[in-house]
Amino acid sequence: MIYLDNSATTKPAPEVLKSFQSVAMNYFANPSSIHEVGGEVEKLHQKARKQVANLLRVREDEIIFTSGGTESNNLALKGIAHAHLNRGNHIITTQIEHPAVLQVFQELENEGFEVTYLPVNSSGVINMDDLKKRLNRTNYISFHYAC
Ligand SMILES: Cc1ncc(COP(=O)(O)O)c(C=O)c1O
């Protein structure tokens, strides 16, 4: 088989599988638990966090482990949109995002954000003039929280 879909799922490296198997078999406790195994799992979490932070050259407190892509998209997109409200409520994305991304933007629209969905060409690339036109647009829609 010639597998060409690594951007969706990548075959795990043997050393990753070995490590996963060892942790899943020997350290399956909840890292928040106060018992001994829980404490050991928490230490493994901290070690993994440190390794990932070093690889990405970021601070350890910038690493957040999630259950997968959908949760990560929600956390990142909603988090950034809300954290930067003082810079405006206009978001620009493309029409070809994954449903787990598009649905987050639809939720943000329901909250009052204005979202522009740019078209792409046959290579999946946006037109820079389209983008410039949208960047220059003044946005008068005020943001309100839908609680
Ligand atoms: C961009 C993107 N977001 C989200 C997902 C869904 O990921 P998960 O099934 O881990 O929630 C995928 C899956 O291919 C994806 O490519």
Please name the residue whose Cα sits nearest to atom 6 of ligand 1.
69
- CA atoms of 14 and 2, how far apart (whole Å): 18
- CA atoms of 83 and 62, how far apart (whole Å): 15
Distance between Cα 14 and ligand 1 center (Å)? 23
> Token digits for 4?
């060409």
Beta carbon of 68 within 6 Å of any ligand 1 atom: yes
At 114, give phi and psi (nearest 5°).
-100, 125
- CA atoms of 87 and 75, how far apart (whole Å): 19
Beta carbon of 93 within 6 Å of any ligand 1 atom: no
Predicted TM-score (pTM) of this structure:
0.81
List of E strands, the chain:
90-94, 114-118
Task: Provide the β-strand partners of residue 114.
Answer: 90
pLDDT, tens digit (0-9, with 9 covering 90-100), for 81-116: 999 998 889 999 999 999 999 999 999 999 999 999
Whether residue 95 contacts residue 126, with contact meaning beta carbons closer than 8 Å, is answered with no
List of E strands, 70-113:
90-94
pLDDT, tens digit (0-9, with 9 covering 90-100), for 20-53: 999 999 999 999 999 999 999 999 999 999 999 9
pLDDT at 126: 96
